Structure 1
Amino acid sequence: MSGDGGRSLGMKRAIAALALALWSALPLQAQTTDPAQTPDPGPTETPVQTETPAGGLKKTEPAAASTGAKPTKSISITTAQPNAPDYAAWERLASRAETAVASRSTSNQGLELLRSQLVDWRAAFQTAQNANATRIATIRTQIETLGPVPAEGASEAEEIALRRKALTDQLVRLQAPGIAAEEAYTRADGLIKEIDRTLRERQTSELLKLWPSPLHPGNWGLALKGITTSALELYNETADILTGPRAGRDLRDNLPLILLLTTLALLLLWRGRRWINQQVLRLARLAPERGRPLWELLASLGQIIVPFAGLLALSRALLLAGLLGAEGRDIARALPALGLIVFVSIWLSWRVFPTGENSAWGLLRLPPERRAEGRFHGYVLGLMLTLNAVRNMVFPPVEVGEAATSVLSLPILVIAGFGLVRLGSLMRRHVRDDTPEGEVLNFRNRMIKLVAQGAGLIGVIGPLLAAIGYVSAAAAMVLPAGLTLAMLATILILQQAINDIHALIIRDPAKGDWGLVPVLAGSALALAALPMLALIWGARYEDLSEIWTKFLEGFRLGESRISPTDFLYFALLFGIGYTVTRLFQGALKSTILPKTRLDAGGQNAIVSGTGYLGIFLAAIIAINAVGIDLSGLAIVAGALSVGIGFGLQNIVSNFVSGIILLIERPVSEGDWIEVGTVSGTVRTISVRSTRIQTFDRSDVIVPNADLVTQRVTNWTRYNLNGRLIIPVNVVHGSDVVQVESVLRGIAEAQPLVVLNPAPTIALMGFTMDAMQFEMRMILRDVNFSLKVRSDINHQILRRFGEERIVMAHTPPNPAALPPPLPQAETKTNPPAPGKPDPDAAAGEPTW
């Protein structure tokens, strides 16, 4: 066997061997000795041609012996609809399925075969439910155009009545195929659920089955006998080939190729992993810092690929020699897959618990001696998974018996359970070392701690159950737990690789370290691993496919069925509409509106309104294109309207107020307004609230209802002119003409003060302590009122000091006092120096 045909056959065999080994690594409940689940060698293997939903012939398959059904023939039918289901053939298949489900003697293989046929029929019925959908919608529209049906006792025109009756009859005929398909779909779906329930019940009963105890000495002899019998069968079939007439002919014909493959296999298995390790260490020293972890990871995959290639070469050499019997050839084909389990476990152990030179790769924070222990238990756990696969292949329970299976399984489960306990202990050690004292565990360490507790618990309970005799239950716990640890380690390694790729792309390891993109990618990876975890823990592939089918079918909303593809279609159309709206808004804002006479506020209002209208139209177009019928929500919306009205009245009020603001435009972006106690510049007006930036650069979110219902002062609505009022108080006795002249000069000297109308200096009144003046002036830009006020106050202080004008409520300054008033008479006897003046002591003025 050489050439392209031989290589193609070798590749097919390698794939088949890999699938066989992975299947044999699953728990024992997948293989049973229950007669109800064992294929019947009789009529079960009789090939028959089953009928397809369209009435044609399906591929040749073995029939279920215990279903009690006779082989069916191909039926050719003619229907009014192209590709319409053959309901006669469906009725026969459904009757067979009901009989098979009701019979306890039906094998699992028979039920699986019936289920696959029922799935095909159900898919055909689902498609047939939409038969004549377009025509039915058209006729319904025609009937609606005729108006409502007359009330009882009322009449309508004869022409309309006849036309309504004709359209109604036509609608009934067109709906008949869809109704029939819907009824058949319901029946097929129910039969599928019954078969799934039956298979799950059998799987559960197998898990709870009590096998012969492996600790009973009487079972040891049975185990030895089963092993001896299988070994003798393997020896006898090999001996028969060696002594047969064709003995050695294939070996002589393919001897050069066999020698080449054997030499290559021994070289790759003996030196391959060591050579790869040397290359990885060399790469670690020579590779640049940026991207080094990623290249090291890719290079380390050679530890799996190189020895696996060696086993492929060895398997091919054994098959070409032609010295093996049927069972020996099966083992030779499965050899690469069995070795792959070992190589993957070694690689994972090396990545999770690296050596001292590569400690930076490790996923767990452990000292070197603990990492060495972790590698050892990882190797052993992978070896136990491989031995379990070999046991299922060489010593199947059907041939060696339950007692031998229990005895052979116990050592594997005990060693694997001990490895789980030790690995769980190492993970708990990592959590303690990686969490500072007094701090709360992060999410990653909480998950690691939870996995560690589960592994330790399963590692103890599983071997105990196997010792009692619950071998299937023990295998369904221990072996999947080991595979789960391997899958979780793979996910963490891939997440780290995604993080390294992200850091390499953005060329900034600091920012790329567990950024948003790697976290999202890692979450998607973990989510995608859930179906594989379900399969590892005993879920049937059919159960997962059924969940996926139901997910794709979607759910009903009113008269329409919504599926995930409809959501994708809706998101695509809405995204296109949203993008077009944003592009049109940009064109309006930058190109069209600046060429009009609208002010900035009006332009912003048009741009905002266009955005809301475009989003609304995009949503409506997407909903209609998908075919979502919202009429079914009318009753629910009516029932919830009262509660929604009370609960969302403030939001609705603000929404309506926002529309009013955009239409009437009493306030525009850029205006300086004052509402309540808030004063500042309007930055944005949204449909619910308005953002105002105050003078201290803080943003205040004001509900739009406040701008509509409360008093709002807009200082810059039509122009930037604004009045500035500055109060000034001076003491009694000051020269009012002088004060007015000084204040007027200060006001007119300000650059931003408008001179027409001229500033006003008004004497507003008197108090017990002061005369009250006000400076009233118009500013060209009221936004600078704070600066103008500050400048004017500075000028007032300077000029009042120069003019010796005293402001009220300030400490007296003798140098700034006004000159004494003229007196009619003066004192003739002033007091002696150093003595108090009696008049001053009495409270009289001294001048």
Structure 2
Amino acid sequence: MTQMLRFALGLTALLVWLTGAAVAQEPALPDFNEWETVASTAEEAIDVTDTTEAMLEVQRARLVEYRTEFDAARNLNAARINALREQLAALGTPPEGEGAEPESPEVAANREELNRQLNTLLTPVQRAEAAYLRADALIGQIDVALRERQTEQLMEVVPTPLNPMHWQTAINDLAVAAGGIAAEAPDEAETARRSIRSSLPAVLALTVLGLVLIFRGHHWSTAIVGRLQRFGARGFGIWRFVVSLLRIILPTVGMVLLVMGILTTGLLGPRGSALLQLLPVIGGAMLGVRWVAERVFSRDEDEALILLPRPERKAVRFYVSIITVTVLFGALLDAIFDGVQPAETTEAVLRLPLLLISAFALFRIGRILHGHSDPTPDEAPDSEEPRVSTLSRVVRGLGLGAMIVAIVSPLLLISGYYNAAVSLLPPYVITLVLLGLVMTLQRFLADVYGAMTGQGVQARDALMPVFFGLILLLLSLPFMALAWGARVTDLTELWALFSRGFAFGETRVRPTDFLSFAVIFAIGYGATRLIQGALRSNVLPKTRMDIGGQNAIVSGIGYVGIFLAALLAITGAGIDLSALAYVAGALSVGIGFGLQNVVSNFVSGIILLIERPISEGDWIEVGGQMGYVRDISVRSTRIETFDRTDVIVPNADLISGTVTNYTRGNTVGRLIVPVGVAYGTDTKRIESILEEIARSQPIVLTNPPPAVLFLNFGADALEFEVRCYLRDVNWMMKVKNDINHAIAARFKKEGIEIPFAQRDLWLRNPEAFRPEAAENPQADGSNEKPEPLK
């Protein structure tokens, strides 16, 4: 339990540090004389071996304050220093060597004055740089010393708690500590009775209300969830999550009220009151752990985050309750021995049964988790090997780790490694709880996302919940580090390193630079999309520009806007890309050869958007593919064929190749329908009938009028063609279908024959098919091959 209290204290300190770090301070020049005293004191504390950890932490905190000041002082007068350097660079290099023309007195005096000003400004900056490096080195030495001491404590060996000789000592120490708490109670009975009588109504009210909330709070929250489910409340998953928090809040409030009622009596001393005030904190933590287990291993299979068989989920919840009870007793032991120095083996002896019970429960949980497997779909074939999901692998790994920790921790405690044992099992339990909390919050955010987007439960399988889970996991890493014994100063040091950024050439890139880049680019990107939407919906439709031209303008503004947004984001973030000039120059040749097709397509895409030989919605034919242009990007163009398939055509093919555009400029197009009639038919009559049929089509233009041509005297028929212009060529096949139906019906009515091909078949030697010829090829005396027909 000491580890859990240390974790809670470390968490509180981390939150306080983060709150304080959010307050910006103006950089000022530090007091270097005072800094010398602080640095010397820290060096002496590091050299002395008997310096306590508390003293080292105090020295480290002071060093961190000075390092922050020195870090800010390194940037003092940065703008003025850069301006002076630019002025010196503008003066050029002073002449050197024999025979060189001397510099004019005015330029020399100006150079000397600029150098003097520059040195004056650089002196405090250089001192701050040196002091910063010294403070950073001292902080590193203190961290190393603290880690070494922490390692020594883990390896410290105490007598084994299995020795019965230590049991009586542990019991005596426990009795003495508990007796000391009881002895702090007020001795004057009359005063105590008078205090109880005066506060009896408040005590009874607080006690009754606290007991009601403790024993009925869980039932009330369950009833609320059931009522919401019966009425089919919208966003049931969200409301179920919110209402389930009442299982923690109501009993915790009840414990607080009960403790307040007991404290009101004034019967307890300082240590007893402190012990009693600890109960709501421990109880709330236990309820929180139980709540996480209820969410992860829910009774409802649809809500269970780790889907196990119902008996196994029930068993996990039971073992979690056992661990929480052992945590309660461990916390009580820590509170009882607070301020008391028991024997060396007392804590190990008293914690041995608690650790064994926790280890047994953790081992059972690990065994259940290690046997987790993904549910097999009903439609999956038997021959197919089942795939193991990432969640299943993680759960199995955590289960295996739980079994190992459950075995190793008691062995360490029995062997005398008390600190190592209590630094292994509780942190692992806290890690499992934090991971369960991450899964619970991820499911809640997925339900919120589903309610906002209208996807409902299907949003749980979307990509955004994975992103939410990744963020939650990253946020939980500091708390896991605290659980495993990391100090708050370790986390703050990592944050300081992260905040200082990394050097990129002569430029230091910080996380704030990336944040500025993201914010500026997001604003520019949003403004670009807003302008595009306004043009597409309000401005361009009111012009006489065709749809293709409107799309070209909107796309062009999008590319220009994104480019300007990226340029402004880089400039606003202060990122200097000049260091990349040499690298870009060295790679330009290779990139030019490797990406020449991509560049060609990119340039072709720009030409398509500007010149617009084709537009979105055009019916084109290119490379044997025919269809409608659906999208023109900077690299390729997407064509939707009449088979409803998409063909991706590189833009270079559209610029350099032959493209047939059926609807460029207008949708008027010509339709040709061939037809043949039998020989002997009146050709003038056929011409009149075909013209009448063509003119009857509503989509056929009357100017120019339809034309019927008598083309050929074919081998089998008299060949005609109906040629007409359609108002919309996109309906070509429909009009051709209607004309063919009309021709067939009219010819049938008029008795006009549409001939089919007729051929005469001549056999070279028909006598070969006679039966007697097949049996005796020489019967007819024809041994020679027949001559071919001429």
Which is further off, 423-432 or 502-511?
502-511
Cα offset, 1:329, TM superposition: 5.3
Aligned to 2:658: 711
Tell me how many residue pairs correspond in the alignment. Answer: 730
Residue 512 to residue 621, structure 1, CA distance change in 2 (3 Å): closer
Residue 281 to residue 406, structure 1, CA distance change in 2 (3 Å): closer
1:334 aligns with 2:289: no
SS in 2 for 1:693: strand
1:377 aligns with 2:319: yes
Aligned to 2:739: 792
What is the identity percentage for the equivalent residue pairs of Structure 1 and Structure 2?
A: 41
Which residue among 431, 434, 438 is the counterpart of 1:487?
A: 434
Looking at structure 1, the residues matched to 375 and 665 of structure 2 have their Cα atoms a distance apart, in angstroms, of 68
Deviations 1:560-591 (A, max 9, x none): 33333333322222232233333333444455
Contact 2:641/2:647, CA 8 A, preserved across alignment: yes
Contact 2:619/2:626, CA 8 A, preserved across alignment: yes
Which residue identity is paired with 1:211?
V
Aligned to 2:148: 201
1:804 aligns with 2:752: yes
Which is further off, 643-652 or 286-295?
286-295
Which is further off, 289-298 or 803-812?
803-812
Contact 2:247/2:287, CA 8 A, preserved across alignment: no
Cα offset, 1:205, TM superposition: 3.0
Aligned to 1:279: 220
Aligned to 1:702: 649
TM-score, length-scaled by structure 2: 0.79
Looking at structure 2, the residues matched to 20 and 414 of structure 1 have their Cα atoms a distance apart, in angstroms, of 17
Looking at structure 1, the residues matched to 62 and 713 of structure 2 have their Cα atoms a distance apart, in angstroms, of 104
Aligned to 1:127: 72
Looking at structure 2, the residues matched to 649 and 175 of structure 1 have their Cα atoms a distance apart, in angstroms, of 49
After TM superposition, list the pairs within 5 Å mapping 1:718-733 onto structure 2.
718-728=665-675
Contact 1:502/1:512, CA 8 A, preserved across alignment: yes
After TM superposition, list the pairs within 5 Å mapping 1:517-528 onto structure 2.
521-528=468-475
Looking at structure 2, the residues matched to 656 and 155 of structure 1 have their Cα atoms a distance apart, in angstroms, of 54
Looking at structure 1, the residues matched to 743 and 198 of structure 2 have their Cα atoms a distance apart, in angstroms, of 110
Looking at structure 1, the residues matched to 84 and 129 of structure 2 have their Cα atoms a distance apart, in angstroms, of 20
Residue 147 to residue 758, structure 1, CA distance change in 2 (3 Å): farther
Which is further off, 514-523 or 198-207?
514-523
Runs of at least 5 residues in structure 1 that lack an aligned partner in the other structure? 1-18, 28-80, 813-847
SS in 1 for 2:616: coil
Looking at structure 2, the residues matched to 109 and 560 of structure 1 have their Cα atoms a distance apart, in angstroms, of 38
Which residue among 358, 366, 371 is the counterpart of 1:416?
A: 358
Aligned to 1:575: 522
Contact 1:427/1:449, CA 8 A, preserved across alignment: yes
SS in 2 for 1:130: coil
Which residue identity is paired with 1:331?
L
Which residue among 51, 62, 69 is the counterpart of 1:117?
A: 62
Cα offset, 1:226, TM superposition: 5.2
Residue 655 to residue 368, structure 1, CA distance change in 2 (3 Å): closer
Contact 2:681/2:752, CA 8 A, preserved across alignment: no
Aligned to 2:408: 461
Cα offset, 1:719, TM superposition: 2.5
Deviations 1:61-82 (A, max 9, x none): xxxxxxxxxxxxxxxxxxxx98
Which is further off, 151-160 or 380-389?
151-160
Aligned to 2:607: 660
Which is further off, 149-158 or 715-724?
149-158
Aligned to 1:4: none
Looking at structure 1, the residues matched to 319 and 533 of structure 2 have their Cα atoms a distance apart, in angstroms, of 63
Cα offset, 1:463, TM superposition: 1.0
Cα offset, 1:381, TM superposition: 1.0
1:677 aligns with 2:619: no
After TM superposition, list the pairs within 5 Å mapping 1:825-840 onto structure 2.
none
Which residue among 168, 172, 178 is the counterpart of 1:224?
A: 168
Looking at structure 1, the residues matched to 653 and 628 of structure 2 have their Cα atoms a distance apart, in angstroms, of 16
Aligned to 2:785: none
Contact 2:170/2:345, CA 8 A, preserved across alignment: no
Looking at structure 2, the residues matched to 810 and 174 of structure 1 have their Cα atoms a distance apart, in angstroms, of 107
SS in 1 for 2:627: strand
Contact 1:21/1:337, CA 8 A, preserved across alignment: no
Aligned to 2:729: 782
Contact 2:371/2:396, CA 8 A, preserved across alignment: no
Looking at structure 2, the residues matched to 696 and 497 of structure 1 have their Cα atoms a distance apart, in angstroms, of 44
1:174 aligns with 2:115: no
Looking at structure 2, the residues matched to 375 and 712 of structure 1 have their Cα atoms a distance apart, in angstroms, of 70
SS in 1 for 2:664: coil
SS in 2 for 1:417: helix
Deviations 1:432-490 (A, max 9, x none): 88987975454444433332222222112211222222222222221222233333444
1:644 aligns with 2:591: yes
Which residue identity is paired with 1:85?
P
Deviations 1:201-256 (A, max 9, x none): 322232233332223x3xx434533552464366468658867xxx5697467444
SS in 1 for 2:430: helix
1:289 aligns with 2:289: no
Deviations 1:527-583 (A, max 9, x none): 322221221122222222222222233333344333333333222222322333333
Residue 519 to residue 317, structure 1, CA distance change in 2 (3 Å): farther
Q: What's the C-alpha RMSD, in Å, of the aligned pairs?
A: 4.2
Aligned to 2:565: 618
Looking at structure 2, the residues matched to 194 and 88 of structure 1 have their Cα atoms a distance apart, in angstroms, of 22
Contact 1:435/1:441, CA 8 A, preserved across alignment: no
SS in 2 for 1:630: coil
Aligned to 2:5: 23
Cα offset, 1:703, TM superposition: 1.7
TM-score, length-scaled by structure 1: 0.75
Residue 730 to residue 199, structure 1, CA distance change in 2 (3 Å): farther
SS in 2 for 1:301: helix
Cα offset, 1:138, TM superposition: 3.6
Contact 1:24/1:393, CA 8 A, preserved across alignment: no
Looking at structure 1, the residues matched to 297 and 167 of structure 2 have their Cα atoms a distance apart, in angstroms, of 37
Looking at structure 1, the residues matched to 545 and 374 of structure 2 have their Cα atoms a distance apart, in angstroms, of 68
Contact 1:24/1:392, CA 8 A, preserved across alignment: no
Looking at structure 1, the residues matched to 44 and 595 of structure 2 have their Cα atoms a distance apart, in angstroms, of 57
Which residue identity is paired with 1:378?
V
Which residue identity is paired with 1:673?
I
Which residue identity is paired with 2:124?
P
SS in 1 for 2:631: strand
